[in-house]
C-alpha cells in the first residue's frame, strides 16, 4: 500500500513552467510518476515535457477529473494563492515544495485545508517517494542510489537527510515503504504524528525511522501519540543538534529550529521519545541497527 502516494496517483504541478517545476517534472517522469498536467496562470495551451499546461486547476480538472495530488513550485508570494486554489478544487493531497512562504499565509491555508479535509505537506518539503511506485517533488536525485522498495517508513524534517536516511537503510539491505519530507518551517501542514498514524495503518510498513531536529514540538507530539498507543510498530529516532546548547544565540537548521527555554531542545525531545519507548540513535547510522534489532 505505502502511504500518501502510489502507482495510482495522478499528479498536477502548480508552477510547471518555472525552472524548478520543469526540472522536477523530468525527475518525476523518469521515475514513472503519472504527472498528467500542470498549471501556470497565463501559460495555458503550452506543453512542458509533453505535459499540457492550463491557466487554472478548474480548467485542468475538466480534462483530468481524476487528479488527486498537487505539487506546488510557485514563487513564495504566490504560495498562499496556489494552496487555496488546490484546496477550493478539492485536491486531496497538496505537497508544497516552495520555501519562504510567509508564516501567516501558510497558517491560513493549513486552516482552510483542515476545514476541507485536504492534506498539506510542507511548505519547504523535499517531496515524497514510495519506492518503485511514485515520487513527487525534488526528493531522491538519483533515486536508485538510496531508494528501493521495502518495509521501513522514513519521516524527516530535513530534505537532504531524507535521502541520507534512506541511503543507510538501502546499504543495509532494507528498503522503504514511503519516505516523507515534512519540511522544516515553523508552521507545517503535516507532522511526525500525522505520518505515524498513516504508517500504523499501512501493512507494508513494519517499522519507522525518524530524523528530527531541534525546534518546535513535533517530536514531543509524536512521543505522546506513541505513548498513548497510537503507534505500535518499532520506531527509532535520531535528533540532530546535540551540540546546539554549547552554541547559544547561533542560528542552526531550518526556520522551524526555534528553541524557547526548554521547549524544542534536543534534550526535551530525546527524553519524551525515550519515555514513549522510542529507540534513540546517538549517531545517525545507528538507526539501522536499532530497527534491525526489533525486526
Please give, one letter per residue, the 3-state secondary structure of the chain.
CCCCCCCCCEEEEECCCCHHHHHHHHHHHHHCCEEEEEECCCCCCCEECCEEEECCHHHHHHHCCCCCEEEECCCHHHHHHHHHHHHHCCCCEEEECCCCCCHHHHHHHHHHHHHHCCEEECCCCCEEEECCCEEEECCCCCHHHCCCEEEEEEEECCHHHHHHHHHHHHHCCCCEEEEEECCCCCCCCCCHHHHHHHHHCCCCCCEEEEEECCCCCHHHHHHHHHHCCCCCCCEEEEECCCCHHHCCCCCCCCCCCCCECCECCHHHHHHHHHHCCCEECCCCCHHHHHHHCCC
Contact 121, 94 (CB under 8 A): yes
What are the residue numbers of the active site? 254
Q: How far apart are CA 73 and CA 39, in angstroms?
A: 10
> For cell 535520531, what's the residue?
238
Q: How far apart are CA 37 and CA 65, in angstroms?
A: 11
Q: Determine how β-strand 51-54 pairs with β-strand 34-39.
A: parallel
Amino acid at each position: 500500500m505505502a502511504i500518501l502516494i502510489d502507482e495510482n496517483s495522478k499528479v498536477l504541478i502548480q508552477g510547471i513552467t518555472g525552472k524548478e517545476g520543469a526540472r522536477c517534472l523530468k525527475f518525476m517522469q523518469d521515475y514513472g510518476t503519472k504527472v498528467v498536467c500542470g498549471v501556470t496562470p497565463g501559460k495555458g495551451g503550452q506543453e512542458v515535457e509533453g505535459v499540457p499546461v492550463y491557466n487554472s486547476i478548474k480548467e485542468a480538472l475538466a480534462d483530468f477529473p481524476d487528479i488527486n495530488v498537487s505539487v506546488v513550485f510557485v514563487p513564495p508570494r504566490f504560495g498562499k494563492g496556489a494552496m487555496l486554489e488546490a484546496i477550493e478544487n478539492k485536491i486531496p493531497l497538496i505537497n508544497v515544495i516552495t520555501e519562504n512562504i510567509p508564516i501567516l499565509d501558510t497558517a491560513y491555508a493549513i486552516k482552510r485545508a483542515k476545514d476541507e479535509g485536504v492534506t498539506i505537506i510542507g511548505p519547504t518539503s523535499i517531496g515524497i517517494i514510495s519506492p518503485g511506485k511514485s515520487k513527487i517533488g525534488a526528493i531522491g536525485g538519483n533515486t536508485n542510489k538510496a531508494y528501493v522498495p521495502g518495509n521501513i517508513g522514513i519521516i524527516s524534517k530535513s530534505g537532504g537527510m531524507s535521502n541520507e536516511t534512506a541511503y543507510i537503510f538501502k546499504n543495509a539491505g532494507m528498503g522503504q515503504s514511503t519516505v516523507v519530507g515534512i519540511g522544516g518551517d515553523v508552521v507545517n501542514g503535516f507532522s511526525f504524528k500525522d505520518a505515524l498514524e498513516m504508517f500504523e495503518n499501512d501493512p507494508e510498513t513494519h517499522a519507522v525511522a525518524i530524523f528530527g531536529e531541534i525546534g518546535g514540538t513535533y517530536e514531543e507530539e509524536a512521543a505522546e501519540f506513541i505513548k498513548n498507543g497510537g503507534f505500535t510498530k518499532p520506531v527509532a529516532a535520531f535528533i540532530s543538534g546535540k551540540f546546539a546548547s554549547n552554541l547559544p544565540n547561533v542560528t542552526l537548521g531550518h526556520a522551524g529550529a526555534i528553541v524557547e527555554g526548554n521547549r524544542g531542545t534536543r534534550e526535551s525531545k530525546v527524553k519524551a521519545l525515550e519515555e514513549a519507548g522510542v529507540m534513540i540513535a546517538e549517531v545517525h547510522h545507528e538507526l539501522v541497527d536499532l530497527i534491525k534489532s526489533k525486526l
